[in-house]
Chain A
Amino acid sequence: MSQTRYTKDHEWIRLEGDTAIVGITHFAAEQLGDVVFVELPEIGKTVTKGGEMAVVESVKAASEVYAPVNGEVVEVNSELESAPQTVNEAPDGAGWFVKLKLSDASQLDALMDEAAYKAHIG
């Protein structure tokens, strides 16, 4: 399994074969509080690094989830629509958001590794 990478906006991305799985970090899920709604993109949508990819709504606020890299959405975690609490329960596992087909895998290199992300959130 490839190494997980992190953005400063608290998304994680992990390469598995040709596709990359994207979710939000444990820290983000905790800060948001109880997640009550997740809006996922359409399959086939092209996303660009830093652009809006999904929306996550908690009892506190609605927040955008940004694409960590350029790519095309090949799969979404539709389980989240009926069970948004999965984002709180397992943000880095069953609570994943989308799978992307990357257009440029080297973009991953610019993202933080776990140690750097830990330092980022303090």
Chain B
Amino acid sequence: MAMNTQGRPSRPVSNIEQGGYADTFSGSRGLDQAEPLIFERGRTDITGVDFPKAKGTKARLGGLERTDEIGLPGLTEPEAMRHYVRLSRKNYAIDLGLYPLGSCTMKHNPRLNEKMARLAGFGDIHPLQPQSTVQGAFELMGELAHWLMTLTNTPCVAMSPKAGAHGELCGMMAIRAALDARGQSGRRRVLVPESAHGTNPATAVQCGFYCDEIPAGPDGRVDMDAFKAKLGDDVAAIMLTNPNTCGLFERDIVEIARLIHEAGGYFYCDGANFNAIVGRVRPGDLGIDAMHINLHKTFSTPHGGGGPGAGPTVFSEALAPFAPVPYVVKDGEGWRMVEQEDEAEGEPFGRMVAFHGQMGMFTRALSYMMSHGADGLKQAAEDAVLNANYILARLKHIMTPAFDGTCMHEALFDDRFLKDTGVTTLDFAKAMIDEGYHPMTMYFPLVVHGAMLIEPTETESKSGLDRFCDTLESLAKAAKDGDTVRFTSAPVHAPTKRLDETRAARNPVLVWTPPAETLEAAE
């Protein structure tokens, strides 16, 4: 008899009869530890570090020194470390598994990028350093600008916008400056397709324009007749995403560009989905006047709770003179930053940020571009489209695609397949959490009922996509077979069960307040 069979059962005792999981005394579940707020874990009236009482010092604050506790949690280094590691274990990340969230994707972030961004010459510099000491950083910015202009076939790029929506603002401010410069400040109407990202109309309104919605045709693309009917001499611009938010290529884009120019307006292209066409299509060839590029999406820099964005904005010849400062220029052997509007060649509409943009993102994006090469970038776009179409093809027999035909980099389903099952898109998404997947984008775009927008990205292997599709197939089948509770009670295997979103939205608690006993202890 082997020792370990004595008094040491090697099989679990089923506790189903007792109702499955029992509540634990600690609130933890196995090794998934319950983690309170850091203020609740550390006492706010102590410090994690013991300093000896300073001798012979004299307060010089004239009676203004603090007398009550500062209220910061006092934790030792290991306690603080454990707090954040425990929290990170509750998070779902691109480094853990497939992240099908569409629109603003979480892409693979190559480790090489991280290594490059930490090089001292890029990572440890300060924006106020003398220009002669940051020539390498300037060259990197110049090189990245060159890549972006080449990939889009445009003559100018503003590097400083710090995210997609900031890039939109940059583009629309340039359009407004251009209209003012030609004495057409009366042009205030901006055409926005109804499937647009919410940031598009918000940006237009922020710049003093107002929006006019273009309906989508039955194929999910801009309704050309409706678009033509809306053109007029008060139109400032159209804001169009291509591929659009339904994951479809706007086939009429060249015609749209021609017509908007003929009507005296400009073409702002939302470049959020550039990752589907980079290397295949140069937006400048399509007739766009301005487009932001999400470095944090198309060029793999971390974003979405994982880091700052960067939204460089490219301009056509028509808008280039109005691009904002600052920008770098090659000056003989070295590089120079053009900081002031009066040093600039054109008539910049101004400056958008205090410094020069997101240097860390620039380094990562250029690292991605140079390690992939032009052919590699093209293949990444092709693989993103291939992967989305693979999902569409594998699931269309059991889920309902929103539109006929193939898609670009994201596959869009509606909720017709859930009709009469008692399961909603939200329930379906929650059940995916139980299966170990982050849900896809849901209920967006708004033009599709109960939308489920899946963007697998280019890095997923066929076997990874198959596992994902197998799971979704099983879920769709379970919903149709009437296993409604599986969905309406989900998630049951996540660290936190289903939250009451309505109550959270109606009665948000935005500020942590210490429990009464903590307050008393501090007094």
Contacts and interface: CB of A to CB of B under 8 A. Distances in A.
Interface in A60-90: 60-61, 84-85
Interface string B493-511: 0000000011001100000
B443 interface: yes
A36 B505 contact: yes
A59 B505 contact: yes
B446 A36 contact: no
B502 A34 contact: yes
A26 to B, nearest CB: 17
Contacts of A37: 505
B502 A36 contact: yes
A61 B446 CA distance: 8
Interface in A4-46: 34, 36-37
Contact of A61 (B443, B501, B502, B506): B443
B502 to A, nearest CB: 4
A84 B446 contact: no
A60 B443 contact: yes
Contacts of B501: 34, 59
A61 B506 CA distance: 14
A28 B501 CA distance: 19
A60 B501 CA distance: 10
Interface of A (DSSP majority class): loop
A37 B507 CA distance: 11
Interface residue tally on A, bucketed by range:
under 10
For the complex, would chain B's binding face be called helix, strand, loop or mixed by DSSP majority?
A: helix
B506 A36 contact: yes
B446 A85 contact: no
Contacts of B506: 36, 84-85
Nearest to B506: A36
A84 B502 CA distance: 11
Contacts of B446: 61
Contacts of A85: 502, 506
A115 B444 CA distance: 31
Interface in B503-522: 505-506
Nearest to B501: A59
Nearest to B443: A60
B442 to A, nearest CB: 9
Nearest to B507: A36
Interface string B68-90: 00000000000000000000000
A59 B446 CA distance: 13
A7 B444 CA distance: 24
Interface string B440-478: 000110100000000000000000000000000000000
Nearest to B505: A36
A4 B502 CA distance: 30
Interface string B411-455: 000000000000000000000000000000001101000000000
A36 B501 CA distance: 10
A59 B429 CA distance: 15
Contacts of A60: 443
A45 B331 CA distance: 57
Contacts of A34: 501-502, 505
A53 to B, nearest CB: 15
A59 B501 CA distance: 7
A58 B505 CA distance: 9
Interface in B362-394: none
A34 B443 CA distance: 14
Nearest to A82: B506
Contacts of B443: 60-61
Contacts of B444: 61
Nearest to A34: B502
A84 B505 CA distance: 11
Contacts of A61: 443-444, 446
A60 B502 CA distance: 10
A83 to B, nearest CB: 9
A28 to B, nearest CB: 13
Contacts of A36: 502, 505-506
Nearest to A60: B443
A65 B511 CA distance: 32
A59 B508 CA distance: 13
A74 B347 CA distance: 48
A100 B373 CA distance: 62
B504 to A, nearest CB: 9
A84 B507 CA distance: 11
Interface of B: 443-444, 446, 501-502, 505-506
17 contacts: A34-B501, A34-B502, A34-B505, A36-B502, A36-B505, A36-B506, A37-B505, A59-B501, A59-B502, A59-B505, A60-B443, A61-B443, A61-B444, A61-B446, A84-B506, A85-B502, A85-B506
Given A34-B505, A36-B502, A37-B505, 4 more contacts: A36-B505, A36-B506, A59-B502, A85-B506
Interface of A: 34, 36-37, 59-61, 84-85
The 4 closest A-B pairs by CB, nearest first: A36-B505, A34-B502, A59-B501, A60-B443
